[in-house]
């Protein structure tokens, strides 16, 4: 069996970083991902996909990403159930990230004075694309 998903999209808001009671970092992201086809009005439609990132990678995302940034996420699809405020059973689909790659430069890169992406943290630094190029 296989549960693997790869998505590329832009963050709809800044990452939301929290810590579990055991001190493990977890970040929530939402990516806007365009569908490959057009609707009947010849407009692109967009899916908004929730992503959960854990541990050090969650902290890296929270410290280096912001609304509008282009990222690639590789992970697995998770469907979980929960009870809402009215006691109704609901389901939520989300991607649990194994890797998050930063695919663009921060908007203020020109002012940072350095060539190292994302504050020199090394996270995602192997990605060096300009514009809207996609590596695959």
Looking at the domain assignment, is residue 135 inside a domain?
no
Q: Which domain holds residue 63?
A: 5-117
Looking at the domain assignment, is residue 71 inside a domain?
yes
**pLDDT tens digits for range 35-79:** 988 888 888 899 999 999 999 999 999 999 999 999 999 999 999
What integer pLDDT is reported at residue 119 of this predicted model? 41
Looking at the domain assignment, is residue 83 inside a domain?
yes
Looking at the domain assignment, is residue 96 inside a domain?
yes
- Which tokens hold the place of 107? 């908007």
* CATH (domain of 12): 2.40.50.140
pLDDT tops 80 at residue 34: yes
Q: Kindly tell me the sign of the dihedral angle through the C-alpha atoms of 68, 30, 100, 6.
A: negative
28: β partners: 16, 52
pLDDT tops 90 at residue 80: yes
The Cα–Cα gap between 91 and 62 comes to 26
Looking at the domain assignment, is residue 134 inside a domain?
no
């Amino acid at each position: 069996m296989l549960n693997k998903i790869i998505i590329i999209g832009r963050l709809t808001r800044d990452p939301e970083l929290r810590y579990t009671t055991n001190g493990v970092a977890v970040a929530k992201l939402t990516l806007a991902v365009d569908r490959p086809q057009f609707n009947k009005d010849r407009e692109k439609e967009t899916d908004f996909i929730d992503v959960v990132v854990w541990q050090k990678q969650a902290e890296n995302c929270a410290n280096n990403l912001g609304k509008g940034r282009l990222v690639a996420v590789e992970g697995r699809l998770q469907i979980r159930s929960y009870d809402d405020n009215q006691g109704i059973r609901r389901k939520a689909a989300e991607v649990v990230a194994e890797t998050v790659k930063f695919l663009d430069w921060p908007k203020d890169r020109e002012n940072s004075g350095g060539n190292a992406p994302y504050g020199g943290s090394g996270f995602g630094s192997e990605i060096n694309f300009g514009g809207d190029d996609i590596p695959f």
